[in-house]
Amino acid sequence: MQRSEQPHIELRKAKDSLEEMKASTSLEVMEESWKAYLHRIERTWNRVLHHYGKSPKWSGWQATVLKQRKSDPLLSYLINARGCDEHTGDDIVSRTPGRLSIRAGDDGPLYIKSLSINKGEISYRGSGKAVFEFTSEAVVLKSILNRGREYHPPTEHLGAPILSVSMIEIAKLGLDFYSDLIDRVEHFFVK
């Protein structure tokens, strides 16, 4: 069987979407890049399926992959997040607002006489040590409902824990899986 360039094209487009997520400077771009990634990564699988599925050996070969796509938390989440976005119109991400918190340091109580914030610079006068913590607004994965079943952001992939559930890390893991899948398919089917 001949090699198909189509899965590689879709995988490159998914990778481009991941790079857009990494470079995004707005929540809207981040969210749209995530949605584009989900669509491209699923199209990668569809291109593999449609081309290599013509082989009489395909049914036996694909069984393990189908099981992984259904049971692996990360792969299942990617599939169903795309399905939810495509078919339900529900939000597939949440936005967390930015916030500034102030707390007393280890040296006792905090008394604030004055506090000003100007162009990101914080000026503080008072007694005690102040600890300022700033959290930027963000777009984060959320639990989704697709076809009556709930899917939570994955915390495991192929039996290993996922240390960060950031959209970028999840997208990278999915990209790695499908890149490896294409390599395995081509090794088995392309003569």
Same domain? 175 vs 114: no
Q: In this predicted model, what pLDDT tens digit does every residue of 64-79 receive, in sequence order?
A: 999 999 999 999 999 9
User: Per-residue DSSP letters for 27-82?
Assistant: HHHHHHHHHHHHHHHHHHHHHHHHHHTTSTTHHHHHHHHHHHHHH-HHHHHHHHHH
Same domain? 81 vs 114: no
Between 117 and 176, the more confident residue is 176
Average pLDDT over residues 131-150: 87
Q: Is residue 160 assigned to a domain?
A: yes
Lowest-confidence range among 49-58, 85-94, 97-106?
97-106
Structure tokens at 50: 């449609």
Structure tokens at 104: 């007393």
Q: Is residue 148 assigned to a domain?
A: yes
Q: Is pLDDT at 135 greater than 80 in this prediction?
A: no
Please report the pLDDT score of residue 108 as a whole number: 81
Q: Tell me the pTM.
A: 0.82
Same domain? 91 vs 163: yes
Sign of the Cα torsion 83, 21, 93, 169 reads: positive
Please report the pLDDT score of residue 72 as a whole number: 98
Same domain? 179 vs 150: yes
Domain count, the chain: 2
Between 98 and 93, the more confident residue is 93
Same domain? 151 vs 171: yes
Backbone angles phi, psi at 175, to 5 degrees: -60, -45
Q: In this predicted model, what pLDDT tens digit does every residue of 167-183 receive, in sequence order?
A: 999 999 999 999 999 99
Same domain? 86 vs 169: yes
Q: Is residue 1 assigned to a domain?
A: no
Same domain? 59 vs 105: no
d(CA 191, CA 179): 19
Q: Is residue 50 assigned to a domain?
A: yes
Give residue 23's domain range.
6-95+140-189
Please report the pLDDT score of residue 117 as a whole number: 83
